């Protein structure tokens, strides 16, 4: 319709202009050419008018037909991928994310739209899969402490287990484990939604590391693992939340302690390298297979699933929270390992603050 309107407006403009201008110019040219006979002039002007009208009519008709064909072709080319995108959108809305998205290569805009839609569907699929894994892992994490509590309560009621300090202590440990899990879940959600409370100030990363190492030392001595701290001689100024960064390092030290046997060594290095401040926690414990190096930051992920469920020492969320906090500071948290049984290293990188 738009093409037809353009052609029609052009034809009407041409006809109106020709009717107003062409007869007078043609009559003047006949007079200038020496044609003085009124009869000859009349026939010539009639011939001019009829040929002009036929030409304009034929040209207008052909233009309208051509415009219609071109418009139909373009509309079909555009509408087909749009209809397919609409069908794909309905499929995604129904919860089925594995859809075939058309690639409209003839149009850069539609091509970009198709690519963006495909990426969105893929992200939604991954988010849904992560949600399912989260629920399954959460159910698994809750099962052990709840089963322990249920067993002790039933045993104490039936008189099978003694009502003594050891039984109460065991039950309290399981309640503490559930409380720790709920706190970690709340902090994980807040971290991933960027709603963690942060109080930024100018701090020396060396002091932050030293405080955490001092607090963790008794736990290391109890297990028989050596904890060694090394720091740069120069200040390592950063802009950050001291409490949250202490939480990051504490999570890394706790993770290293769980995966390092008695007689092992864990080192903490704090230094400035170029424009960044580095806090590196390295152990000589279990190590991490290469295929798990990026997955260790996922919620509830464990390299050895049986270990966490047996000792109950970790919720599986510590590294997830730690990475989220580091990202909030404009930095990154990465893991490296030479392989299983060869130790692991976690490196916190945060932009240094210019002194002065």
Q: Is the pLDDT of residue 279 over 90?
A: yes
Which DSSP letter does residue 101 get?
Answer: P
**Residue among 22, 14, 18 nearest 60 (CA):** 14
For residue 353, which phi and psi values (nearest 5 degrees)?
Answer: -95, 135
For residue 312, the model assigns a pLDDT of 43
User: What is the number of other CB atoms lying within 10 angstroms of the CB of residue 316?
Assistant: 22
Architecture of domain 108-192: Orthogonal Bundle (1.10)
Q: What is the DSSP letter of 105?
A: T
* CATH architecture classification, 201-351: 2-Layer Sandwich (3.30)
Distance CA(80)–CA(107), nearest Å, equals 12
Average pLDDT taken over every residue of the chain = 82
First to last CA, the chain: 69
Rounded to whole angstroms, the Cα distance separating 92 from 128 reads 12
User: What is the token pair recorded at 149?
Assistant: 């509590």
Confidence of residue 314 (pLDDT cuts 50, 70, 90): low
Residue with tokens 């970790």: 314
Q: State residue 309's pLDDT score.
A: 44
DSSP code string of 282-317: EESSS---GGGTTGGGSTT--SSHHHHHHH----S-
Query: Mind listing the pLDDT tens digit for each residue in 102-149?
Result: 776 667 777 788 888 888 888 888 777 767 776 776 777 788 788 888
Please give the DSSP secondary-structure letter assigned to residue 281: E
Give pLDDT tens digits for 20-59.
Answer: 776 677 667 667 777 667 776 677 767 777 777 787 778 7
Summarised one tens digit per residue, pLDDT across range 174-214 is 888 888 788 877 887 777 777 777 889 999 999 999 999 99
Q: Which of 287, 271, 267 is nearest to 216 (CA)?
A: 267
């Amino acid at each position: 319709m738009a093409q037809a309107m353009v052609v029609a407006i052009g034809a009407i403009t041409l006809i109106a202009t020709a009717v107003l201008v062409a007869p007078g110019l043609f009559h003047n040219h006949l007079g200038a050419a020496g044609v003085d006979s009124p009869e000859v002039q009349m026939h010539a002007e009639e011939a001019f008018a009829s040929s002009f009208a036929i030409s304009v009519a034929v040209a207008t008709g052909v233009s309208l037909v051509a415009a219609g064909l071109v418009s139909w072709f373009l509309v079909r080319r555009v509408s087909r991928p749009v209809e397919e995108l609409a069908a794909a959108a309905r499929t995604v809305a129904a919860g089925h994310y594995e859809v075939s998205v058309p690639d409209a290569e003839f149009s850069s805009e539609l091509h970009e739209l198709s690519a963006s839609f495909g990426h969105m569907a893929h992200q939604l699929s991954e988010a849904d899969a992560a949600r399912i894994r989260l629920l399954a892992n959460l159910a698994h994490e809750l099962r052990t402490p709840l089963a322990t509590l249920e067993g002790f309560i039933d045993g104490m009621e039936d008189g099978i287990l003694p009502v003594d300090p050891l039984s109460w202590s065991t039950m309290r440990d399981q309640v503490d484990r559930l409380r720790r899990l709920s706190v970690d879940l709340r902090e994980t959600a807040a971290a991933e939604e960027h709603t963690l409370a942060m109080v930024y100030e100018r701090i020396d990363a060396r002091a932050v590391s030293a405080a955490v190492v001092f607090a963790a030392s008794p736990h290391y001595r109890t297990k028989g693992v050596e904890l060694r701290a090394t720091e740069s001689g120069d200040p390592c100024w950063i802009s950050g939340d001291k409490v949250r960064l202490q939480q990051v390092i504490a999570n890394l030290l706790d993770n290293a302690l769980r995966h390092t046997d008695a007689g092992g060594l864990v080192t903490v290095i704090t230094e400035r390298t170029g424009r960044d401040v580095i806090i590196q926690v390295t152990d000589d414990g279990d190590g991490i297979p290469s295929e798990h190096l990026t997955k260790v930051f996922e919620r509830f992920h464990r390299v050895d699933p049986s270990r966490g469920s047996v000792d109950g020492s970790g919720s599986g969320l510590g590294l997830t929270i730690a990475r989220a906090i580091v990202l909030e500071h404009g930095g990154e948290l990465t893991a490296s390992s030479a392989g299983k049984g060869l130790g692991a290293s976690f490196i916190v990188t945060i932009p240094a603050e210019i002194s002065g």
